[in-house]
Amino acid sequence: MKTLLKNGKIYDGTGAEPFVGDVLVEDERIAAAATCGVKWK
């Protein structure tokens, strides 16, 4: 199962400022994260 969370605030764990983006979750795991507007397959 795939779930796409759109336009969320993403904290990447590096201490950098969060950014607004999309997160793709597949089989209960984060498969990808990117800034908003990426064309997902």
- Per-residue pLDDT of 3-34, as tens digits, reads 999 999 999 899 999 999 999 999 999 999 98
Instruction: Write down the pLDDT at residue 35.
Output: 86
Tell me, what amino acid is at 16? A
For residue 23, the SS3 value is: strand
**pTM of the complete model:** 0.74
Q: Is the pLDDT of residue 40 over 70?
A: no
Residue 40 falls inside a structural domain: no
- Residue ranges making up the domain that contains 30: 2-35
Pick the more confident residue, 38 or 21.
Answer: 21
Residue 41 falls inside a structural domain: no
Q: Is the pLDDT of residue 41 over 90?
A: no
Residue 6 falls inside a structural domain: yes
* C-alpha–C-alpha distance, residues 6 and 25, integer Å: 11
